[in-house]
Amino acid sequence: MAFALKNLDHVVVCVSDLERALKFYIEVLGCREERRVERIGLVQLRAGASMIDLQLTKPDAEAGSGGGGRNMDHFAIRIEPFDPPALRRHLEGFGIDPGEVVQRYGAEGDGPSVYISDPDGNTIELKGPAEAG
């Protein structure tokens, strides 16, 4: 193989309201805006070592290509620390119910995670560290 996979580089998420999505990804998740490509309605956000690109939905586009349909199931963001009570308080402060913490398998192995949704209904898994053992 000419290359090795290291980690998630970026995910492109179609959104219907760019400013509303920016508020969510910046204020709730703590991303920071890194770059805008105005001609295509794209804002690139820094999420740790990875990027989350927000692509403005085109009303007449087909699903999965910047249109009104779902373009993915979910994406996972590894967070640290993973402190369930503090995480719950933070999310509830934004009117978001994270549900229960569940053990799920990820890039580092089994570890705790919760699912939340962004304002456009895209599912985000907030993933804690793999547990030793």
DSSP state of 28: I
In angstroms, rounded to a whole number, what is the distance separating the alpha carbons of residues 67 and 46?
A: 23
Give the residue from 110, 116, 118, 85 showing the smallest Cα distance to 128. 110
pTM: 0.73
Return the sign of the alpha-carbon dihedral for residues 85, 27, 55, 7. negative
C-alpha 131: how far from its chain's center? Answer: 22
In angstroms, rounded to a whole number, what is the distance separating the alpha carbons of residues 64 and 74?
A: 13
**Superfamily (CATH H level) for 10-127:** 2,3-Dihydroxybiphenyl 1,2-Dioxygenase, domain 1 (3.10.180.10)
* pLDDT tens track, the chain, 133 positions: 556 767 888 999 999 899 999 999 999 999 999 999 999 889 999 999 899 999 998 655 454 444 455 677 789 999 999 999 999 999 999 999 988 999 998 888 899 999 999 998 889 999 999 987 6
In angstroms, rounded to a whole number, what is the distance separating the alpha carbons of residues 55 and 125?
A: 20
